[in-house]
Structures are given as structure tokens and as C-alpha cells.
């Protein structure tokens, strides 16, 4: 009975650990290829649609510089409702 209970406890704990991976945001383990630190003197340089989407989801009070033209034909458009910051 103890062995069965211990095995069930281990299996439950293992399932809980694996369920935590569902809470990790997309791209959390991906290496950040963005240059810059997000300050006015050293803004993030965004060159692709994915980088732009990633930065807008966690922008806060950061500075972003557009590194190249971004085309989003194959993606859902990124809604930019209002700018409370400078976009260059």
C-alpha cells in the first residue's frame, strides 16, 4: 500500500511539474537577438514582425527603433491603438 501511494504521489508531482511548462510564455527560452537596452540612448532595434510583436507585448516605458521595413502580410496585424511614446 505504501509503495502504491508513493508511486501515485511521485506521478502527481511529475504531472504538476510538466503542467508548469504550459504557463511559460512563447519565446521565453529563445535567445534574445535584439540589440539595445530599451533606453533613449540605446533603444531596442526591431527588424522583424516577430521582434516587433514581442517588444510591444512587454514594452512598458522602453524605446524602440525600427531597423528595417516590416511587412505583416502573413500575420494578423499588430494593433497599435495609441502611442504614448515616440516611435521612430
| Residue-level pLDDT at 71 | 73
Residue 75 lies in a domain: no
Band (12; pLDDT cuts 50, 70, 90): very high
> Would 80 be classed as within a structural domain?
no
- Compute φ and ψ for 46, nearest 5 degrees: -110, 125
Does the pLDDT value for residue 13 go beyond 80? Answer: yes
Tell me the pTM: 0.44
* Average pLDDT, integer, range 57-81: 67
> Considering the domain boundaries, does residue 83 fall inside one?
no
Assigned domain for 12 exists: yes
List the end-to-end C-alpha distance of the chain, in Å, as a whole number. 67
Domain limits for position 42: 2-66
Which tops the pLDDT comparison, 38 or 16? 16
Would you state the pLDDT for residue 34?
A: 66
* 76 found inside a domain: no
14 part of a folded domain: yes
38 secondary structure, DSSP code: S
What is the structure's pLDDT at 53? Answer: 73
Number of domains making up the chain = 1
Amino acid at each position: 500500500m505504501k509503495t502504491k501511494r508513493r508511486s501515485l504521489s511521485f506521478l502527481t508531482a511529475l504531472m504538476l511539474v510538466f503542467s508548469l511548462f504550459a504557463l511559460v510564455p512563447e519565446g521565453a527560452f529563445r535567445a534574445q537577438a535584439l540589440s539595445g537596452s530599451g533606453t533613449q540612448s540605446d533603444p531596442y532595434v526591431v527588424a522583424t514582425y516577430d521582434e516587433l510583436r514581442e517588444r510591444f507585448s512587454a514594452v512598458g516605458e522602453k524605446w524602440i527603433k525600427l531597423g528595417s521595413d516590416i511587412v505583416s502580410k502573413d500575420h494578423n496585424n499588430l494593433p497599435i491603438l495609441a502611442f504614448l511614446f515616440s516611435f521612430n
